[in-house]
Amino acid sequence: MKQESLTTLQEHWDITYNHALGETGSHFYNALRDEGKILGRRCPACERVLLPPRPFCDRDFVDTTDWVEVGTEGRVEAFTVVFQSFRGLPEAPYCIAYVLLDGADTAVLNYVRGIDWTPGNVPQNIGVGTRVKVAFAEEREGRMTDFWFEKA
């Protein structure tokens, strides 16, 4: 008897959200878009400057109190260079890194641009400890992609 072929059914999800950013997220993005500033929030107990900014410190479980403008240079704490493109994610290759910006106590994630990556040249071009600087987009829209890192 001939084996019946098994079939599949294709579906696609297309869902729109308008995510509430809250006071903290709104102010961070307004300052980034309008003034080209990166702002963190200070915890009154441990005095860490949290970046990305949050309304409370998870460690002390208290509300953060004031805004602190952080520097535009920093140190790479972790990185990866992606060589595999995934449907729905950016075209490879690209580098993303967690950077401890001067004046911040937690690392923030963004692209590291300006390097032509090959699988063989990664460790020569970036490492934990590499100094990078922030570059801002000329046309900013209040998104994390309004800035990125380049080697200092």
What's the closest the beta carbon of residue 53 comes to other proteins, in angstroms?
A: 9
Residue 67 interacts with other proteins (CB under 8 A)? no
Query: Who's near 72: CB < 8 A, 6+ residues apart?
Result: 38, 101, 102, 133, 134
Q: What is the residue type of 34?
A: D
Within positions 19 to 48, which residues make up the interface with other proteins, using CB under 8 A?
Answer: 19, 21, 25, 46, 48
Q: Which is nearer to other proteins, 65 or 118 (CB)?
A: 118
| Residue partners of 40: CB distance under 8 A and separation at least 6 | 49, 50, 51, 52, 53, 67, 68, 69, 70, 103, 104, 105, 106
What is residue 29's three-state secondary structure? helix
The rounded distance, in Å, linking the Cα atoms of 83 and 89 is 12
The yes or no reply on residue 105 touching other proteins (CB under 8 A) is yes
Residue 88 binding other proteins, by CB under 8 A: yes
3-state secondary structure (DSSP) of residue 99: strand
* Region of 33-41, 65-73, 95-103, 132-140 interacting with other proteins (CB under 8 A): 95-103
Candidates 44, 55, 69, 80; binder of other proteins (CB under 8 A) is 80
| Binding flag, residue 136, other proteins (CB under 8 A) | no
Beta-carbon count within 10 A of 57 CB: 20
At closest approach, how far in Å is the CB of 4 from other proteins? Answer: 11
Counting every residue written for the chain, the total comes to 152
Q: How far is the CB of 119 from other proteins (least distance, A)?
A: 4
Q: Which residues bind other proteins (CB under 8 A)?
A: 6, 8, 11, 13, 17, 19, 21, 25, 46, 48, 50-52, 58-59, 77-84, 86-90, 94, 96, 98, 100, 105-111, 119, 122, 127-128, 143-145
